Amino acid sequence: MKNKSIKVGLASEKDRYQTVFRSLDYIFADITPQIYTLDPEKDYIILKPNCIDTKKEAAVTSVEALTAVLDFIQPIWQGRIILAEGAGLGNTMEAFNNFKYLGLKNSFPNLEFLDLNFSDCICVEAFDQNLKPMQIKISNTVAEAPLRISVGPPKTHDSVIVTLSIKNMAVGSILKEDKMNIHQGIKAINRTIAAINKYTFPHLSVIDGWKSMQGNGPVDGEIIETHFAASSTNCLAADVLATQIMGFNPVQIGYLNYLGAADIINLIQTVGYNPNNFNFHLKPPPTYLEQIQWN
């Protein structure tokens, strides 16, 4: 049987909002069946930005990208939407205020806000520095969500080379008391992210690459203009394509490799913009040569 292609909407328009919205519109037929199966009386959607810091706007999901996603889904979903994050540095609600997320409530009355650092939790398996199993706590609001949407920028990372939709949802779901516990070395953290993904994988990935971070990410890197957005109902496909656009080999990214990056590279069907029109070579993190030793 021939393997089925996996669609990723890829856009590059005149501004960030239109670029994100168009990337979603390209895969409208993939998104709507997932939303139509939900019950607006009892179900909810998790909308997860990347909000690692409370002050560095360049390192977080832009409010324009979130607005584009909310504008896209509002006509087809009238139920609860929970904008949820567990900031790694500082207070989550302070970050929401600083980056103007709280003002979204004015246009989207069904929107709620949640600090995942203080969520009810479940315990899941992670890996210690000896690659032995250990337990960490993740938000059950994320794990039990009928639909999870990850929205964030492409960034280099000081432990796993790149951070995109899968890592955004996985690490953001970890309660603050356990966040640092996943840093057990290059080999362990890649296995841990892949393991957590079983519970937190985005049903819809939106990678806002209007601007990307290179070098010393995920907080202190250099911002460059890349002017793209990639969206898919297959989170691995979205991350693989974005990794390639950034100029990295997705098979060299440990957690993406564990999740099957090599198996889907040739199955990705981009809809919209031609990825070959991008020719970026983002600066790798300073510890890149160490990080590729994950295996």
pLDDT at 2: 59
Any domain includes 2: no
Token output for 112 = 């709620």
CATH number of 56's domain: 3.40.50.11440
Cα distances (Å, whole numbers) of residue 165 to 42, 162, 207, 250: 26, 10, 7, 13
Is residue 192, in this structure, part of any structural domain at all? yes
**Where does residue 161 rank: exposed (0-12), middle (13-18), buried (19+ CB within 10 A)?**
buried
pLDDT digits (tens, 9 = 90+) for 241-266: 999 999 999 999 999 999 999 999 99
User: Is the residue at 56 inside a domain?
Assistant: yes
Structural domain that includes position 216? 7-291
Q: Which residue in 33, 288, 247, 51 sits closest to 160, CA to CA?
A: 288
Domain for residue 1, yes or no?
no
272: left (phi over 0), alpha (psi -120 to 50) or beta: left
pTM of the model: 0.97
pLDDT digits (tens, 9 = 90+) for 7-47: 999 999 999 999 999 999 999 999 999 999 999 999 999 99
DSSP codes of every residue in 184-196? S-HHHHHHHHHHH
Closest-CA residue to 293 (of 180, 161, 182, 197): 161
139 lies in some domain: yes
Q: What is the pLDDT of residue 1?
A: 43
Q: Kind and range of the H or E element at 253?
A: none
Tally the domains of the chain: 1
Domain contains 200: yes
